[in-house]
Amino acid sequence: MTFFSAAWFKSVACFKMSRPDPFLIMAPMTHLSHVAFRELVRGFGGCDLFYSEMLNSRILPSERPGDSVYLKWVSPKDLILQIVGNDPELMKDAAARLVSYRPWGIDINMGCWLKKITMHGWGVALMKDIKLAQNVVEAVRSVVDVPLSVKIRLGYSLDKAYLVDFVEMLAASGVDFIVLHPRTAMDGLARPARWEYIAMVKEHSCLPVIGNGDVNNPRDALDLIKQTRCDGVMIGRQALRQPWIFRDIKALLMNKTLEPSPDLPGVIVDLSFLLETHFPPEIAIKRFKKALPWLSTNLKFGHYLAKEVNKTKGMEDIRLKIKEVFAAGIT
Ligand SMILES: Cc1cc2nc3c(=O)[nH]c(=O)nc-3n(C[C@H](O)[C@H](O)[C@H](O)COP(=O)(O)O)c2cc1C
């Protein structure tokens, strides 16, 4: 059992001393939690740790940092690289490779519910096979000397005893903390997240637990902490809609007044420049088009904006279109 293992202490001790609990963390999100969006969020402050999108353990051996669209970062020191797969040897090799880049931590994805992932026995499917899950964790742990987390769901049913056993297995296998997204595999992203399961796991396990799911405004983060006593909060979708949410949560935690929301067209344009800095033009545009609907969720003319941007080709045209649509939308 490794509640605050040696690796955790070594990497976290200094980090924790200078930072108030709880940890605020941006979630892994395919094609969205890339270097450019992470830098956008970082610019507002308040986010302690960032997760990469899930990295396929089968593909990783052929990816090179810098060249690969997936292995890009400004600094790995507050980055957790997430691996997905279920073959202990492949997962171990992938983890060893990722650790050589000296990230803050490594995560194993045992939460993805999408069929294209679970059909291989990856993601949340691993929660069905506790023995295989244990073999994967032990193999990865054997090569990971930085904090190791596992991101889980509730599994395939609302079986509290099984969930507690699963978390105990993770602790005994050397995991330093878990992220719990309290929905079942069948829930997908539907129905409200069942925060009471985060509280239940906190009560029964000595592993630090990061709570995740349905934090839709800064107040929700405080409620999640209060209701579950979780050790940190991970935010996914709302960080895409409001990349400054971590700044606002930190302010609330410190009883400070919230700053006004930033100018949204400016934020959108900043993302376009960050994407151009870090990706080849074609990928930058693809990623921009993926992020835009999230950033414009709350705009009355959000659909129109996305439609207009989809018609454009280069990033410069996209920026002109954004200015034009905002000017027309606001007046
Ligand atoms: C577009 C999208 C992509 C996601 N990709 C991943 C992923 O690569 N790895 C992972 O563990 N979870 C992934 N998730 C799940 C999120 O990390 C998070 O658990 C989920 O969105 C619930 O948190 P939220 O309510 O704050 O969004 C993804 C979610 C979304 C919406």
pLDDT for the residue 66? 82
Q: One digit per residue, pLDDT tens: the chain, 331 residues?
A: 334 444 444 444 434 434 447 999 999 999 999 999 999 999 999 999 999 999 999 999 889 988 899 999 999 999 999 999 999 999 999 999 999 999 999 999 999 999 999 999 999 999 999 999 999 999 999 999 999 999 999 999 999 999 999 999 999 999 999 999 999 999 999 999 999 999 999 999 999 999 999 999 999 999 999 999 999 999 999 999 999 999 999 999 999 999 999 999 999 999 999 999 999 999 999 999 999 999 999 899 999 999 999 999 899 999 999 999 999 975 4
Give the pLDDT confidence score for residue 20 in this predicted structure: 47
pLDDT at 4: 44
Locate the domains of the chain by residue range: 6-253, 264-330
Interatomic CA distance for residues 180 and 177, integer angstroms: 10
Ligand 1: centre distance to CA 233 (Å): 13
* Among protein residues, the one whose CA lies closest to atom 4 of ligand 1: 29
Q: Which atom of ligand 1 is nearest to the CA of 239?
A: 26
The residue whose CA is least distant from atom 18 of ligand 1 is: 236
With the most atoms of ligand 1 within 8 angstroms of its CB, the residue from 25, 26, 29, 70 to mutate is 29
Q: Which CATH class is domain 6-253?
A: alpha beta
What is the SS3 string spanning the chain? CCCCCHHHHHHHHHHHHCCCCCEEEECCCCCCCCHHHHHHHHHHCCCCEEEEEEEECCCHHHCCCCCCCCCCCCCHHHEEEEEECCCHHHHHHHHHHHHCCCCCEEEEEECCCCHHHHCCCCHHHHHHCHHHHHHHHHHHHCCCCCCEEEEECCCCCCCHHHHHHHHHHHHHCCCCEEEECCCCCCCCCCCCCCHHHHHHHHHHCCCCEEEECCCCCHHHHHHHHHHHCCCEEEECHHHHHCCCHHHHHHHHHCCCCCCCCCCHHHHHHHHHHHHHHHCCHHHHHHHHHHHHHHHCCCCCCHHHHHHHHHHCCCHHHHHHHHHHHHHHHHC
Residue numbers annotated as active site: 112
